[in-house]
C-alpha cells in the first residue's frame, strides 16, 4: 500500500524537477489524446514543439511569433506571481487585460487623427490605469468587506467582456467601418501604433516591457523590503503581521500591480498584433498566464522560460490544427494538461511516497 508522508521541509530537488516532469507527462498524455483522435501522436508532438523553431518552411514566420505570443503571457504572469506569492489570488487578469486595452485605445482614438508623438505614451499610461482600476474593485471589496478576491476578480472578467462588446459595437466602433463591429485599426495610425522595433524579430514595446517586468520583479523579490514582505505574507501570514506587514496594504499593492501589468499587456496587444478593439479581442491570455506563473514556479526567470514554452504551444498548436486537422479544443486541453500535471506532481515537493505493509499501523 502507498501513503503520502509530509516532508519536514519542501524538497528543492522536486521543486525544480516538477515543471520538467509536468511537460514530459503532458507530452505523453497529449500523445494518447491525439492517438484517440486518430492522429499520429509523434507527428503531433513534433509539430507542436519542434517545427515552429527548426522546420525550414515554418521557422521564418514562427520564430518572431514566439516573442509576440510570449510577451503578454510573461507580462501578465509576472503580476499574478507577485500576488500569488503573497497569498493574494487574482484570477481575473483576463478582465484587467481587456479593460487596459479599452482604456488605452479610447485615449488614443479620442485624439484621432492627431499625429502627436505624445499619444502613444499617453495610451501606455491609460492602459496601465485601466487594468489597475479594474483590479481595485476586488481589492477594495476584499479589504473593506472581506469578500473573496478569487470570485470577485473572476466574475469581473464577464463584466469586462460585456464592456468589450459594447466598445466594439458602440462607442469605439469605426465610423468608416460600414457598420461592422470593431474600432479603427490602431496599427495603421502612426501615432497609436506599437511597431516592430527590429525587423523580422517580432520585438515590439510590449516585449521590452515584459523583459523589464522580469528584471524588476527579480530585483523586487530579492533586494527590496517589499519583496521580503510579499514572500513572508505568503509563507507565514501570522509572522508577517507580527513583523509589521499591513495585510490590507499588501492586498491593494499586489492586486494593483497585477492589474496594471495586465492592462499594459492589453494595450500593447491592441496597438500592435491585434490592431483594434473587436468583439473577439481577448484570446485567453489572462487565464493562460496563470499556467505560466505556476509553471515558472512563481519565479521571474522561470516565468520568462515558461512564457516562451507556452507561446510555443500556441504557435505549434495552430500548426497542428492546420497540418493534421486537430480540433482547437484538443489543443486547449493539451495546454491545460500542463497546469493539471504541474499541480499533481507538485505534491511530491511537500510529500514523499511511502510503502506500507497491510495490517501495519
Q: Report all structural domains of the chain as residue ranges with CATH numbers, in order of start.
A: 40-325 (1.10.3470)
Residues 71, 77: Cα–Cα separation, whole Å: 10
Backbone angles phi, psi at 359, to 5 degrees: 85, -5
Residues 83, 1: Cα–Cα separation, whole Å: 39
- Calculate mean pLDDT across residues 222-235: 92
pLDDT of residue 16: 84
The confidence band for 357, taking pLDDT boundaries of 50, 70 and 90, is low
Residues 349, 14: Cα–Cα separation, whole Å: 5
Who has greater pLDDT, 244 or 286?
286
Residues 99, 134: Cα–Cα separation, whole Å: 7
Instruction: Please give the C-alpha separations between residue 225 and each of 82, 169, 220, 262, in angstroms, as whole numbers.
Output: 14, 46, 8, 24
Instruction: HSE, CB side, 13 Å, CA atoms: give it for residue 177.
Output: 17
Indicate left, alpha or beta for 92 from its phi (over 0: left) and psi (-120 to 50: alpha): alpha
The confidence band for 351, taking pLDDT boundaries of 50, 70 and 90, is confident
Who has greater pLDDT, 81 or 354?
81
pLDDT of residue 261: 98
What the block records as the C-alpha cell of 305 is 522560460
The confidence band for 359, taking pLDDT boundaries of 50, 70 and 90, is low
- Calculate mean pLDDT across residues 349-361: 71
pLDDT in tens, 245-268: 999 999 999 999 999 999 999 999
Choose among 344, 258, 305: nearest CA to 85. 258
pLDDT in tens, 299-325: 999 999 999 999 999 999 999 999 999
Contacts (Cβ under 8 Å, ≥6 apart) of 38: none
pLDDT of residue 159: 97
pLDDT in tens, 14-44: 888 888 899 999 999 999 999 999 999 999 9
> For 112-123, b where at least 16 C-beta lie within 10 A, e where not — what string?
eeeeeeebbebb
pLDDT in tens, 91-120: 999 999 999 999 999 999 999 999 999 999
Indicate left, alpha or beta for 146 from its phi (over 0: left) and psi (-120 to 50: alpha): left
Cβ distance 356 to 3 under 8 Å?
A: yes
Our CA angle for 90, 95, 99, nearest 5°, is 125
pLDDT of residue 265: 97
CA 241 to chain centre: 30
Residues 149, 329: Cα–Cα separation, whole Å: 29
Residues 334, 328: Cα–Cα separation, whole Å: 10
Who has greater pLDDT, 264 or 61?
264
pLDDT of residue 361: 47
The confidence band for 187, taking pLDDT boundaries of 50, 70 and 90, is confident
Residues 339, 26: Cα–Cα separation, whole Å: 9
Amino acid at each position: 500500500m502507498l501513503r503520502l508522508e509530509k516532508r519536514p521541509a519542501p524538497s528543492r530537488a522536486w521543486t525544480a524537477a516538477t515543471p520538467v516532469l509536468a511537460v514530459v507527462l503532458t507530452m505523453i498524455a497529449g500523445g494518447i489524446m491525439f492517438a484517440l483522435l486518430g492522429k499520429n501522436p509523434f507527428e503531433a508532438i513534433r509539430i507542436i514543439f519542434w517545427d515552429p523553431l527548426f522546420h525550414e518552411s515554418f521557422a521564418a514566420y514562427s520564430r518572431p511569433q514566439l516573442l509576440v505570443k510570449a510577451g503578454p503571457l510573461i507580462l501578465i504572469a509576472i503580476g499574478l506571481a507577485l500576488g500569488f506569492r503573497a497569498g493574494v489570488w487574482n484570477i481575473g487578469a483576463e478582465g484587467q487585460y481587456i479593460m487596459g486595452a479599452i482604456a488605452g485605445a479610447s485615449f488614443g482614438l479620442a485624439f484621432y487623427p492627431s499625429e502627436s508623438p505624445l499619444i502613444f505614451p499617453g495610451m501606455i499610461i491609460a492602459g496601465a490605469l485601466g487594468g489597475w482600476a479594474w483590479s481595485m474593485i476586488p481589492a477594495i471589496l476584499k479589504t473593506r468587506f472581506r469578500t473573496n478576491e478569487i470570485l470577485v476578480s473572476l466574475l469581473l472578467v464577464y463584466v469586462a467582456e460585456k464592456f468589450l462588446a459594447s466598445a466594439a459595437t458602440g462607442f469605439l466602433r469605426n465610423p468608416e467601418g460600414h457598420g461592422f463591429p470593431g474600432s479603427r485599426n490602431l496599427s495603421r495610425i502612426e501615432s497609436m501604433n506599437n511597431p516592430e522595433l527590429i525587423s523580422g524579430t517580432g520585438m515590439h514595446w510590449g516585449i521590452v516591457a515584459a523583459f523589464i517586468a522580469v528584471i524588476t520583479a527579480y530585483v523586487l523579490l530579492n533586494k527590496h523590503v517589499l519583496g521580503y514582505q510579499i514572500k513572508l505574507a505568503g509563507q507565514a501570514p501570522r509572522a508577517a503581521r507580527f513583523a509589521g506587514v499591513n495585510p490590507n496594504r499588501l492586498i491593494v499593492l499586489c492586486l494593483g500591480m497585477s492589474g496594471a501589468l495586465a492592462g499594459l499587456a492589453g494595450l500593447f496587444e491592441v496597438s500592435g498584433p491585434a490592431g483594434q478593439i473587436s468583439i473577439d479581442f481577448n484570446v485567453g491570455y489572462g487565464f493562460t498566464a496563470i499556467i505560466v506563473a505556476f509553471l515558472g514556479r512563481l519565479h521571474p526567470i522561470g516565468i520568462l522560460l515558461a512564457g516562451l514554452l507556452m507561446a510555443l504551444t500556441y504557435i505549434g498548436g495552430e500548426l497542428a490544427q492546420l497540418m493534421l486537422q486537430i480540433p482547437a479544443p484538443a489543443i486547449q486541453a493539451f495546454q491545460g494538461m500542463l497546469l493539471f500535471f504541474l499541480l499533481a506532481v507538485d505534491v511530491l515537493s511537500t510529500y514523499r511516497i511511502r510503502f506500507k505493509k497491510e495490517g501495519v499501523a
